[in-house]
Amino acid sequence: MRYRTIGNTAVSAVGLGAMPLSIEHRPDERQAIATLHAAMDAGVTLIDTADSYHWHAGEAGHNEFLVARALARYGRDTSHVLVATKGGRGRPGDGSWTVTATPAHLKHAAEASRKRLGVEAIGLYQLHKPDPAVPWAESVGALRELLDAGTIRAAGISNVTTGQIRQAHAILGDGLVSVQNQYSPAVRDSEPELRLSTQLGLAFLPWSPLGGISRSSLDGPSGPTSASTAFHRIAAEHGASPQQIALAWLLTRSPSVIPVPGASRPASIQSSARAVEIELSEEQQAQLEDALPLSG
């Protein structure tokens, strides 16, 4: 495994997005725990969760409880594993997502997450999404209070603009360590946020990092865009999957990038973890760039 940093903490260059283990069509608990254990077996030391990663109404924190149980049952030292959780979103149980980022809600949510994870302080707590009904400075101010209180050790922000990153950085200083936005071969609207995160020394955690890489491309060139074909061709050159090439490509974008691909099976996260071993040549990187759709 190779490593990158979030704040002062070294973590695996590829993390695990645990959301698929708790939302719609989730696996049974045995498979979910096995997936989390397989991630750690593969050297993954960053697990991404949130209090809103659940399926039905009334089961907020399902994913956090699951991660905590997996760590407790692992049977080996897990002190080096960074669990990053998020607050500020909800799921009523009808498939929709809500946003609530008032200071009172965030402080209550962080404390509830801390208890579910069974830790003295949350290693990384991220504001899940800006709330249009709440001034951004007030939401970020709640993170400042959580840092000062020792409820969280580091703070992050998600689904944000460059302006929101700058304002959060001004309020949180070194307490701000990460930005988590959607970023993938198909969705690169957050290119400015990635550049700014790199300039400020913030980790950039792409969510949904495999967007644009069709599952069927594992068996042959396919998919709606030329990117699928290019990723498949270079995957064949490396004896890898297009998904692994996508992760390897993301790692070339900036030393700040730490993808967090989701997984619901042990084999999936084991495959993702092996992507750190792939070295893309400058020519291959150029071929992938040429095949990608223009960023927004």
Cα angle 176, 141, 165 (rounded to 5 degrees) comes to 45
Separation in Å, CA 193 to CA 182, 205, 217, 292: 10, 11, 29, 19
| Cβ count near 72 (within 10 Å) | 10
**Is 110:153 a contact under the CB 8 Å cutoff?**
no
Residue 41 exposure: Cα atoms within 13 Å on the Cβ side: 15
Q: Which residue has the tokens 């960074």?
A: 82
Residues near 198 by beta carbon (within 8 Å), at least 6 away in sequence = 204, 254, 255, 256
Distance, in Å, from the CA atom of 73 to the CA atom of 52, rounded to the nearest integer, reads: 23
Q: Name the catalytic one among 3, 53, 125, 183.
A: 53
Torsion of CA 89, 90, 91, 95, to 10 degrees: -30
Distance, in Å, from the CA atom of 115 to the CA atom of 117, rounded to the nearest integer, reads: 5
**Is 171:137 a contact under the CB 8 Å cutoff?**
yes
Element at 16 (helix H, strand E) = strand 16-17
Active-site residue 74, yes or no? no
List active site positions. 53
